[in-house]
Amino acid sequence: MKLGILMVNLLRSALMILVFLMLLLSAPPEAGARFDGRRAFEFIKEQCEAGPRSPGGPGREACLVLMERELSALGIHTHRQKFTVPLSLIKRIAEGTNLIALYEGDRPTSDLIALSTHWDTRPIADLDPDPALRGFPIPGGNDGGSGVALLLELARVVKARQYPGRILFIFFDLEDSGIPGRDTDWCLGSRHFAAHSLCDYPVSWGINVDMIADRDLKIRPELFSLEKAPDLTREFWTFAEQRAPFHFSRNPLDFGIFDDHKPFLDLGIPWINLIDFSYPPWHTHEDTPDKCSPISLEIVGNTILEFLFHHSENPVKFYLNNENQRR
């Protein structure tokens, strides 16, 4: 009887080892190379610990070095694109730096897809409930920090999973130094890139991310994306809503958000904006890492990643609204 139990136990152990080995052997090569929200979240903390990335802010060089360090470690070449612009908000000429990184994949003739965000943070906290604090720069945990964190972790996974196409990672500067009510002073890095760099980097279409780490995450299409790039907007949100229905909704906002995708939409390049604009700490000193969530980063990161792979396997052309009407 005892021998029988021993045999059963031995057989059971052998079976478990066999199942484990089969699972190991059947695991896809990309297993383990999933977007890690906790790893991305550490990048938010690192940026905030270095200080604000506003014009002249103490965290600027550290943030540039962080981005260069992470991308260089992946073998992705980076380039600092410098420009100068007058900034009405701080009443002086500011020097801006876009960080550009090209992931080449192994299909050099494939469409160039852009993933963008802004890395600068707002130099004033004009919506802070305490008037005495409004003149000081925000920490930029979600607004600034989250986009950088997401793209850096996305670059790691794109590389680990050997995404076949070409991706341009662009970290725009001086997105957030505008004056409320005036369109002219926002998104200065992306405007500079759109005006000077599209010959060098002929982007086919793009996705911009901004404020995507909110704990209470819900991302809906804003009106500029929907009206000017309806194909890409529809395709992305249909895909995203199926995978993460609690966090993405095809139901659009009833307003447009002037963000780093807008200069490209104006030039005829489909470029959507993923933003959760419903974020109470927005432009206050409460925009700190504890308001952000590794899970939100992971949901957005994996959705973009899966969309990229889905598109590379099922390539379609995205059109602007006016081209839709011509077809």
The residues that touch Zn ion, with contacts defined as CB under 5 A, are: 143, 176
Q: What's the closest the beta carbon of residue 168 comes to Zn ion, in angstroms?
A: 23
What is the nearest approach in angstroms of Zn ion to the Cβ of residue 143?
A: 4
Tokens matching residue 218 = 């819900």
Computed from CA positions of residues 35, 36, 39, 44, in that sequence, does the dihedral angle turn out positive or negative?
A: positive
CA-wise closest residue to 192 among 124, 282, 288, 100? 100
For Zn ion, the closer of residues 52 and 270 by Cβ is 52
What is the three-class DSSP state of 79?
Answer: strand
Q: In this structure, are residues 44 and 149 in contact, taking their beta carbons and an 8 Å threshold? A: yes
- Decide whether 173 or 176 has the Cβ nearer to Zn ion: 176
Whether the Cβ atoms of residue 135 and residue 147 lie closer than 8 Å to each other: no
* Residue placing its CB nearer to Zn ion in the complex, 36 or 210: 210
In whole angstroms, the minimum distance from the beta carbon of 72 to Zn ion comes to 28
> In the bound complex, what is the minimum distance in angstroms from residue 282's beta carbon to Zn ion?
7
Nearer to Zn ion, 36 or 222 (CB): 222
Extract the tokens encoding 95.
Answer: 């020097």
Shortest Å distance, C-beta 138 to Zn ion:
8
Q: Among residues 176 and 235, whose Cβ is nearest to Zn ion? A: 176
238 near 250, Cβ under 8 Å? yes
Six-digit token string for 310: 């889905």
Q: What are phi and psi of 168, to 5 degrees?
A: -100, 115
